[in-house]
Amino acid sequence: ETGVTQTPRHLVMGMTNKKSLKCEQHLGHNAMYWYKQSAKKPLELMFVYNFKEQTENNSVPSRFSPECPNSSHLFLHLHTLQPEDSALYLCASSQVGLAGFDEQFFGPGTRLTVL
C-alpha cells in the first residue's frame, strides 16, 4: 500500500448503529486530519492530530469520536448519527516541520450514508 488509504470506501448505517472509519498513512508523516465533504460545500476540517495528540477539534458533535493510536493510523468512531451526517469523509496526512508549509496528502475517502 502507498500513500493514504481509507476503509471502508462506502458505508451505509442506521442512526442507532456504531461504526468506525479507518485511515492509514504509509508516508511517515507526523500529522493526520479528518475532513467532511458535503455536496456543494467546502471541505470542513474536523480534527487534527500532531504527533498523536489532538490539536484541533473544529466544534464537531460528540457523536464523532476520533482516535489516533499511533502516527500511522487514525480512526473516526461513529455513533447515533443523523441523516445530515451523510457525506464523504476524507483523511489526510502531512509532515509538520519548522519550514512551515506542509503538503497534505488525501486518501480516497469513505462515502457515508446515514438512513
Partner 1 sequence: GQQLNQSPQSMFIQEGEDVSMNCTSSSIFNTWLWYKQEPGEGPVLLIALYKAGELTSNGRLTAQFGITRKDSFLNISASIPSDVGIYFCAGQMIGGTSYGKLTFGQGTILTVHP
Binding site for partner 1 (CB under 8 A): 4, 31, 33, 40-43, 45, 48, 50, 55-56, 90-92, 94, 96, 100-109
The nearest distance, CB 43 to partner 1, in angstroms, is 4
The nearest distance, CB 84 to partner 1, in angstroms, is 18
The nearest distance, CB 66 to partner 1, in angstroms, is 15
- Taking the least distance from each CB to partner 1, the nearer of 16 and 100 is 100
Instruction: Please name the helix (run of DSSP H) or strand (run of DSSP E) that holds residue 34, with its range, or none.
Output: strand 31-37
CA distances from 41 to 37, 44, 85, 100 (A): 7, 8, 13, 27
The nearest distance, CB 16 to partner 1, in angstroms, is 29
- Taking the least distance from each CB to partner 1, the nearer of 6 and 64 is 6
Q: Indicate the burial class of 61 (C-beta count within 10 angstroms; 0-12, 13-18, 19 or more).
A: exposed
- Taking the least distance from each CB to partner 1, the nearer of 16 and 53 is 53
Q: Where are the beta strands (DSSP E) in the chain?
A: 4-7, 10-13, 18-25, 31-37, 44-50, 53-57, 64-70, 73-79, 87-94, 105-106, 110-114
- Taking the least distance from each CB to partner 1, the nearer of 52 and 108 is 108
